[in-house]
Amino acid sequence: AGAAAVLERAELRERTATANSMARLLRPKVVAVVGASREQGSVGSRIFQHILENNFTGTVYPVNNQAVSVHGVRAYPGVGQLPEPPDLVVVAVPAEGVVPVAEEAVRAGAKGLIVVASGFAETGEAGAALQGRLVDVARANGARLVGPNCLGLLNTDPAISLNASLAAAMPPAGRIGFFSHSAALGIVILQYAGERGLGFSTFVSAGNRADVSGTDVLEYWEEDPATDIAMLYLEAFGNPRRFGRVARRVSGRKPVLCVKGARSRAGSTAAGAHIGAAPVGDVEVDALFHQAGVIRVDTLEELFDAALLLAHQPLPGGNRVAILSNSGGVVTITADACDGYGLHVSTAGLVDLGPQAGAEDYRAAVQRALEDPRIDAVIAIFLCVGECDPELVSRGIRRGVVGAERSTGVAKPVLLSMMGATGVVKFAFEGKGALAGRTTAFPSYRFPEAAARALAHAVAYADYRREPPGRLVWYEDTDPARARAVIEAAVKEVPPGGGPHRLTPEQAGEILDCFGVHVASRPPRQNGGAPLDLSVRQHHVFGPVVVLGRAGQPAVVRITPLTDQDVRGMLKEVEVPPEGGEVELLCRLSQLIEELPWLAELEAAFVAAADGAPAALGADLVVAVTRPA
Amino acid sequence: AGAAAVLERAELRERTATANSMARLLRPKVVAVVGASREQGSVGSRIFQHILENNFTGTVYPVNNQAVSVHGVRAYPGVGQLPEPPDLVVVAVPAEGVVPVAEEAVRAGAKGLIVVASGFAETGEAGAALQGRLVDVARANGARLVGPNCLGLLNTDPAISLNASLAAAMPPAGRIGFFSHSAALGIVILQYAGERGLGFSTFVSAGNRADVSGTDVLEYWEEDPATDIAMLYLEAFGNPRRFGRVARRVSGRKPVLCVKGARSRAGSTAAGAHIGAAPVGDVEVDALFHQAGVIRVDTLEELFDAALLLAHQPLPGGNRVAILSNSGGVVTITADACDGYGLHVSTAGLVDLGPQAGAEDYRAAVQRALEDPRIDAVIAIFLCVGECDPELVSRGIRRGVVGAERSTGVAKPVLLSMMGATGVVKFAFEGKGALAGRTTAFPSYRFPEAAARALAHAVAYADYRREPPGRLVWYEDTDPARARAVIEAAVKEVPPGGGPHRLTPEQAGEILDCFGVHVASRPPRQNGGAPLDLSVRQHHVFGPVVVLGRAGQPAVVRITPLTDQDVRGMLKEVEVPPEGGEVELLCRLSQLIEELPWLAELEAAFVAAADGAPAALGADLVVAVTRPA
C-alpha cells in the first residue's frame, strides 16, 4: 500500500506537469511566427495567414528581418524584439536555421515551440544530431517542442481559436482530440472528418515527436473539458509503458481510438524511412491496447465510423442488437455483418418492416426494440426505392428513440444507414421533452456493415468500462533487497552488459521466495487439458512481456506491470478460473518483475492450485538475469 | 472421352436454350404492363412510366380495363386484346390476381413474365402453392418468369433501352451485368454504383427466383457482348452444381463477383424469413466459389471497389505492388494494408515522393514503377495539403502510364487514391498515341486500404485465369454397371429411403476396383507428417462434398465433380506434390461419385504413392450407400 501510494503521487505530479506544459502550447495568448514572409506560398506565410484568418483570440506577431509588415501586420526583426514575451513560437525556417531561432525564442520566454522543417532525425545521423541539439535547447528552458517535421497544431475552443498549422480550413469545432504522427495524413483526415460531421477540439501533428508525443497530448486531453474522445494515428512508441499507463487512465473516462500504422514488415520499412523510428511487434501492440482499453481500428474508414458513433450516441449496455429495415435482403447482410463482428442477433432482433414501411412504422419498431430489455442497440436501415423521403423516416426514428427513452429512462445507441447518406443525420433540438442532446444526431453509415463494425467497437469498449478498474497489487510481505542481493552475488563474475546469466534452481527458488511465489515440490498436475507454460521475456521496446499458454494453442501475451484485472483476463483466456491463488501468483510475479529490472528471462510451468497445495510455478524453471552495462 | 463429349454437347444445348429464353426476357420488342393504372403511385403505373421515360426502343402497352388511356397512351382491357402479341408481360397486380393474368399472357404469346407482387413462397405454404401454380403456367408454355416478389429488370443497351423496374433512374450504361436476390437492395446498389462511376449492361431483380435464377442470367451474360463483368448478390442456391458449372465457364472469360448474403446463422434466419430459402453452409459456398473462380466479396463496399478496378484496368500479372505517395504516413498504412491482403511489397516498391511532389514527380515515379519488371501493379496516392491541384497530378499519373505502356508494350493496373475523391478519375481520350481506352479512366478510392483490397481480389482472379482450365477426367477402363450391381445386391434387404447402409470391406473394395481405385494392402505409410484422411459426405444442398486433411489441421473442402485442377489444388493445400498417382486417384474417385449416386458416405485414409506402390485408400475404409426413396 505504501509503495502504491508513492507511485500514485508521482503519477499525479507527472500528469499535472505535463498537462500544464501542454496547455501553454495549446492555449497560448501570444504567438510569434518566425519565417512569415511577404511571399504568398511560403510555409511561414501560410501558417501566419491561417492564424489570422481563423480569428485567434490572442495576439500573433510575424517575425521577419526583411519586411516592415507581413499581410498588413507589423513585423519584427527578431523574437527578442517583440513588444511582449511570446508563449508559443512557430519556427518556420529551414532546418539549418532552426536551432538559433529556438534559442532566441526560449530566451525571450517562449514555453512552446513548433518546428515545421524537415531535415532532422528522419534523414540520418547528422539530422538526428541536429534534432538532439534542438531538444536540448527546449528542455534546458522548460519549453515544449512540437515536431520537427510536422504541420503544427489547432485548437477550436472559441476562447482560443488557434490554427497554427498548414491545414487551410479550421475543422468544425467538436469533442474529438486528434493526434497524428503523419503530418499530411493528419490534415487529410481533418478534412474528411469534417465532411462526415466529426468536430474536433484540438489537433496536434507531431512529426518526429522529438519532445511532444501522443502520450503527452493524451495526458492533456485527460482533464480537458473540451475533449470527449481521443483519436490517435501512431506509427511508433517512444515509451510504451508510459503510453499504457496514461491510456489506461484516460480510457477509463473517455474512449481512446487508435490506428497503429506500420503493422506489417512492409509498413514498418516505410515508416522507418520517413520517421526514423524502429518498428515494434504487432502482438505486443495488441496487448498494450487491450490492457489499456484502447479501441484499436485497422483502417482510417473504421476510425471515422467508430468515432462517429462514440461522439453521438451513448455506450451500449451489451452486445444484443436489433436490425430494422424495409428490405429483407438488407436485414440479412446486416445480420451477417453483426454476427461476423461478434454481436448477438436473436430472431426477435431481425425486423423486416416490408417494402411499404414509412416513418410511423419505423417509429413504432424503433421504440419497441429500444423498450425491449433484451436489446442493447438498434441499427435502423432505410432503403429509398422510388419515391420516398428519408428525412421523414429519420424523424420517425428519432420520435421512436425519444419515446423509448421517456418510457424506460434508458438511453441506448441507435445507428442509421440511410443507404446512400453518410455522416450524421442531425435534428434541430426540439425544446423541452427531448431527453438529451444526443438524440439530436444519429451516426449514419452508407452501408450497414460499417454500422455493425462501429457498434462492435463500442460494445468492446463499453465492456472494458464496466469492468472494475485494474489495480496494481503491491504485497508488503516481500523482500526485494534480499532478492537483489542474490542476483548480485550470482552475477559477480559476469561482465557488465554481457548476455543473460542463468541462475541455479536454488538461486531462482530463493528469488521467487522473496516475493512469496511458490515453486511446486510435486510434479505439475493440471486439472485437465495440456499443461500451462509461463514465460517472461524482455522486449527491446515494451520491456518485460508475459506469455501464458498451452502448447499448440494461441498464447495470451501481456505487457508488465500486470494489474489484478489483467491477470484475471489472462487466466480467463487460458480457461483457468480467475480466482484466489492463481491471481495472487501472477500479481506477485508482476511485482517481482517491477522490482528486479535485471531479470532477463523466466520460463516455467504454471501449476494451478489443487489438493490444498497453492498455485505455483513448476519445479524445473529457468531464470536468467542480465547485469546492465 | 466418349462420355465427356456427350456431357459437353448436353451442356452446350442447355446453354443455348437458356441464353435464348433469357434474351426474349431482356431484349423484348413488345412489352405489356398489366395493372398500369392512372393512379400516379401504383407499382404498375410506375413501371409503365419508367419504360416510357427511358425511351424503350420497342412498343409498350398499358393493360387496364378501367381506363381508355394511361399516361396518355392508349390502354387495352386485357392482354388478349392487344394489337400484337407481347414478348414480355409485366404483371403488376396483387398476388391473388397473378395466375389468371399470367395464363392470359402466355395464351397471347408472351415468352417472358415479370411478377412484382409479394405474397408467394416467402409467406408460407399457401403462398408456395400459388407460386407453384404460377411456375406451371409459365413452364407449360415455354415462358420464363422473373419473380415473384421482385422489382423487375433493366437493359441499358441503346438498341433496347428498357427499364421495366421500380428503379426510378436508369443507371449509366456500362459493361457490368448485375443480378440481385434482394429487390430493394438491388435498386439501391444501382443508385450508389452510378454515383461511383460504374455502368451497367443489364440488371435483374429476381426476388423469389421461382424460375429465373442467378445461374440463368449468368448463362446469358456468358455470350452477351455488352457484358464484361458479372456481379451477383445471392442469398441462396437453387442448384449449386449447375451454378458451379456455369460460373466456372463464365469466370474463365469474364470476372464473376459475388456477395453471398446469409453467411451467418442470424443472416440465414433473416433470409429464411424473407425469401423462404434454406440456408447453406459457408464452407461449402467458399469451396464452390473457389472451384468456379468466383471472386467472393464480403461487403457491398468491397463489391464496388473490386468492380471499379476490374471494369477499368487490366488484370495484374502477379502480386507485386508499388506504392507511391507524397506522404510517408500514407505509404506506411498502404503497405500495411497490402501486406494484410497478401500482396507483396518490396522495399523498392515503397516510394515516398515527399510533401513537395507535383505532377511531374508522379509521372516519373509511376512510369519508373510500371517499367520495372518486378512490379505488377501501382497504387498511387496523392494527399492534397494546402494549395494543390489533384487533377494536374492525375494527368501526370496518366502520362506516366501511357509512357510506360509505350516503352514496354505491357499494360499493368494502376489504382489511385486522391484521398477524398472516390469513383473513377476520367480523362478525355487524347487521339492517337494513347494505347488503349483503358488509360482514360482510373479507379480512385477514398482510402488506400480499399485500393489494396480491390487489387488483392484482382490478383487472385488473375491467378485463376492463368491456370489451365480444369477438365473433368473420364476414365474408360471402369465398370460402373458392375459397381451398381454390387450396391443393388447389398441393399436388396434395405427399405427404400432408409438410413445409410454400410458395405462390407469386400463390397467396398469391389466397387472401388470397378473404378480403378486401389485399396492399400499395406498399412498407410506417410512421407512425413500426420496421416491424411479423406471423406465424402452428402450435403443436402451441394450434393457430395469431398474433404481431405490431416487431423488437427484445417481440411480442404471441395464440391464434386472434381476437375484435374481442383484435385491439384487440393493436394497442394495439404502439401502433397500434385502429380501422377495421387491426382489420378482423386479424379477416379470423383468419377465414381458421379456414377454412383447411391453412395452416401466414404471414409478412408489417403495413402500417397511410395516404394513403387501406387497411391491408394487405406484398407480400413467405410463406404455406405442409401437406396433412394
pLDDT at A525: 55
Taking the Cβ of residue A355 and every Cβ of chain B, the question of whether any pair is shorter than 8 Å is answered with yes
pLDDT bin (cut points 50, 70, 90) of residue B419 is low
Mark which residues 152-181 of B lie under 8 Å from A by CB. Answer: 166-168, 180-181
Half-sphere exposure of A503 (CA within 13 A, CB side): 29
pLDDT bin (cut points 50, 70, 90) of residue B39 is confident
Q: Which residues, other chains included, contact B240 with Cβ-Cβ below 8 Å and sequence gap of 6+?
A: B280, B284, B288, B541, B542, B543, B559
Chain B residues whose CB is inside 8 A of the A420 CB are 188, 191-192
Half-sphere exposure of A355 (CA within 13 A, CB side): 22
Q: Which of B271, B330, B387 shows the shortest C-beta gap to A185? A: B330
Could you list the beta-strand ranges (E) of B71-143: 73-74, 88-91, 112-115
- Give the other-Cβ count within 10 Å of B511's Cβ: 26
Chain A residues whose CB is inside 8 A of the B259 CB are 333
3-state secondary structure of B601: strand
Q: Identify which of A136-140, A170-174, B575-579 has the greatest average pLDDT.
A: A136-140
Q: Which residues, other chains included, contact B477 with Cβ-Cβ below 8 Å and sequence gap of 6+?
A: B516
Q: How many helices (H) and strands (E) does chain A have?
A: 18, 27
Burial class (CB in 10 A: 0-12, 13-18, 19+), A395: middle
Q: Are B52 and B97 in contact (CB under 8 A)?
A: no
Judge whether residue A464 has pLDDT over 50. Answer: yes
User: Which tops the pLDDT comparison, B419 or A453?
Assistant: A453
Taking the Cβ of residue A299 and every Cβ of chain B, the question of whether any pair is shorter than 8 Å is answered with yes
Q: Name all domains of chain B by residue range, CATH numbers in brackets.
A: 15-310 (3.40.50.261), 316-456 (3.40.50.261), 480-625 (3.30.470.20)
Whole-angstrom distance, CA of residue A415 vs CA of residue B405: 47
On average, the pLDDT of chain A sits at 87
Mark which residues 432-491 of B lie under 8 Å from A by CB. Answer: 446-447, 449-450
Q: Considering only alpha carbons, which residue of chain A is nearest residue B334? A: A267
CA distance A115 to chain B (A): 16
CA distance A352 to chain B (A): 8
Q: Are B207 and B149 in contact (CB under 8 A)?
A: yes
B76 forms beta bridges with B63
Q: Are B318 and B346 in contact (CB under 8 A)?
A: no
- Give the other-Cβ count within 10 Å of B460's Cβ: 18
pLDDT at B434: 37
Judge whether residue B378 has pLDDT over 90. Answer: yes
Over residues B13-29, the pLDDT tens digits come to: 888 888 889 998 999 99
CA distance B166 to chain A (A): 6
3-state secondary structure of A458: helix
Handedness of CA B107, B108, B109, B115 (dihedral sign): negative
pLDDT at A97: 94
Whole-angstrom distance, CA of residue B230 vs CA of residue B242: 16
Q: Which residues, other chains included, contact B149 with Cβ-Cβ below 8 Å and sequence gap of 6+?
A: B115, B116, B117, B118, B119, B120, B121, B122, B183, B207, B208, B275
Judge whether residue B238 has pLDDT over 60. Answer: yes
Chain B residues whose CB is inside 8 A of the A182 CB are 327-330, 332
Query: Among A132-146, A598-612, B306-320, where is mean pLDDT lowest?
Result: A598-612
Over residues A44-76, the pLDDT tens digits come to: 999 999 999 999 999 999 999 888 899 889 999
Element (H, E) at A557: strand A556-559
pLDDT bin (cut points 50, 70, 90) of residue A212 is very high
φ and ψ of A511, to 5 deg: -60, -45
Interface test mutation site (partner A, options B120, B165, B188, max chain A beta carbons within 10 A): B188
CA A417 distance to own-chain centroid: 27
Q: Give this complex's ipTM.
A: 0.75
pLDDT at A441: 82
Q: Considering only alpha carbons, which residue of chain A is nearest residue B43? A: A386
The grid coordinates listed for A529 are: 487439458
Q: Of A450, A327, A460, A346, whose CA–CA distance to B264 is shortest?
A: A346
Over residues A414-425, the pLDDT tens digits come to: 999 876 555 556
Residue B561: asked if its preceding bond is cis (omega within 30°), the reply is yes
Can you tell me which residue has the cell 476520367? B426
3-state secondary structure of B629: coil
User: Which tops the pLDDT comparison, B82 or A425?
Assistant: B82
pTM > 0.90:
no
Q: Which of A259, A330, A336 shows the shortest C-beta gap to B182? A: A330
On average, the pLDDT of chain B sits at 87
Burial class (CB in 10 A: 0-12, 13-18, 19+), B392: middle
pLDDT at B278: 44
Over residues A170-194, the pLDDT tens digits come to: 888 999 999 998 777 787 788 777 7
Q: Which of B191, B273, B447 shows the shortest C-beta gap to A300? A: B447
Taking the Cβ of residue B90 and every Cβ of chain A, the question of whether any pair is shorter than 8 Å is answered with no
User: Which tops the pLDDT comparison, B195 or A485?
Assistant: A485
CA distance B269 to chain A (A): 7
Segment B216-245 mean pLDDT: 91
pLDDT bin (cut points 50, 70, 90) of residue B577 is confident
- Give the other-Cβ count within 10 Å of A40's Cβ: 10
Chain B residues whose CB is inside 8 A of the A187 CB are 383, 385-386
Segment A441-466 mean pLDDT: 92
Whole-angstrom distance, CA of residue A429 vs CA of residue A439: 8
Taking the Cβ of residue B329 and every Cβ of chain A, the question of whether any pair is shorter than 8 Å is answered with yes
pLDDT at B33: 97
Segment B551-559 mean pLDDT: 85
φ and ψ of B348, to 5 deg: -65, -20
Q: Provide the percentage of residues in chain B whose pLDDT is more than 90.
A: 53
Whole-angstrom distance, CA of residue B423 vs CA of residue B435: 22
Q: Are A64 and A251 in contact (CB under 8 A)?
A: no
pLDDT at A457: 97
Segment A152-160 mean pLDDT: 94
Eight-state DSSP code of residue B503: P
Residue A28: asked if its preceding bond is cis (omega within 30°), the reply is no
CA distance B263 to chain A (A): 6
Taking CB atoms and an 8 Å cut-off, how many pairs form between chains A and B?
Answer: 234
pLDDT at A81: 95
Q: Are B85 and B54 in contact (CB under 8 A)?
A: no
Segment B557-577 mean pLDDT: 91
Q: Which of A167, A168, A332 shows the shortest C-beta gap to B271? A: A332
Whole-angstrom distance, CA of residue A605 vs CA of residue A623: 12
CA distance B473 to chain A (A): 38
Inter-chain touch B301–A447, beta carbons under 8 Å: yes
Judge whether residue A574 has pLDDT over 80. Answer: yes
User: Which tops the pLDDT comparison, B275 or A249?
Assistant: A249
CA distance B503 to chain A (A): 38
Eight-state DSSP code of residue B228: S
Q: Are B204 and B212 in contact (CB under 8 A)?
A: yes
Q: Are A54 and A156 in contact (CB under 8 A)?
A: no
Whole-angstrom distance, CA of residue A419 vs CA of residue B614: 59
Q: Which of B192, B266, B449 shows the shortest C-beta gap to A345? A: B266
pLDDT at A170: 84
